[in-house]
Amino acid sequence: MDGSVVADEATAGRLVLAATPMGDVGDASQRLREALSCVDIIAAEDTRRTKSLAKALGVEITGRVVSFYDHVETARIPMLLGEIEGGRTVLLVTDAGMPSVSDPGYRMVAACVARDLPVTCLPGPSAVTTALALSALPVERFCFDGFAPRKAGQRREWLRTLATEPRACVFFESPHRLAECLADAVEVLGPDRRAAVCRELTKTYEEVVRGTLAELADWAVEGARGEITVVLAGAHPTTADPADLVDEVESRTADGVRLKDACAEVASVHAVSRRELYDAVLAARRHQEA
């Protein structure tokens, strides 16, 4: 067994974070197979899925398997810390991908670091990097935003923060909310911003749909299934003059959008000051009334 995973008996144990396959068990690393077979304790987001993975890999688990999901994470940490301090190796796995990346694990890592206990990682599958690679977008620099906000108002506010973000942004979304999220993105970021929707990565029905936000929003109306990862292209610098955007704002107010909200949306799309745009609209209205 790799000495970087199993602790020497004369030293304290360690925490091992391990990436698990997102769909195809063939993506499991040899180091993951070895760790599953011989570590002292496996802390698993779903114990049944972990046992099924081991069976599919032809691996016999010899250590103790304990649950480690969101609602029990905090309660489990003291026990696991005690095991590591006692010289045992704890393997932390989630249902798919890398622990602590929008999955349980962060608090456990922080707790180990606070006690100066060794932490290592067995790299492997990640929906984030897989989607970035498949997006066909410039992703030399990117940010990861986890799951998009569930509520419409919070989601639109979050999208506004991406209006001038020059880096590509990757995020997760529920298939049930994807159509609404993309429709909001069209309104807030504009129809021409490019993106890619990655569905069921590494699985049998893997699908990557690329295009403008408007095109993707139309596609999503039909409904998408499975696990969704979205990659949004970074924003391009703009030199738009607020005075040239007044008609666009007025078009939205004519549809019933409040003036301040319309200014905020248009300003986000064109990366201009919402205050300057608001003042430009008021100035245009005064000119028309004069």
Does the model's pTM come out above 0.75?
A: yes
Higher-pLDDT residue of 271, 123: 123
Other CB atoms within 10 Å distance of the CB of residue 151: 8
- What superfamily would CATH give domain 14-125? Tetrapyrrole methylase, N-terminal domain (3.40.1010.10)
Mean pLDDT of all residues in 215-242: 90
pLDDT digits (tens, 9 = 90+) for 172-198: 999 999 999 999 999 999 999 999 999
Position 272 pLDDT exceeds 90: no
- H helices of 190-258, where? 213-220, 246-254
Domain ranges of the chain: 14-125, 128-232, 242-289
pLDDT of residue 274: 84
- H helices of the chain, where? 30-38, 47-56, 73-85, 106-114, 127-134, 152-161, 178-189, 213-220, 246-254, 259-270, 274-289
pLDDT digits (tens, 9 = 90+) for 74-120: 999 999 999 999 999 999 999 999 999 889 999 999 999 999 999 99
pLDDT digits (tens, 9 = 90+) for 39-87: 999 999 999 999 999 999 999 999 999 999 999 999 999 999 999 999 9
Architecture of domain 128-232: 2-Layer Sandwich (3.30)
Per the structure block, which two tokens stand in for 108? 């456990």
pLDDT of residue 238: 64
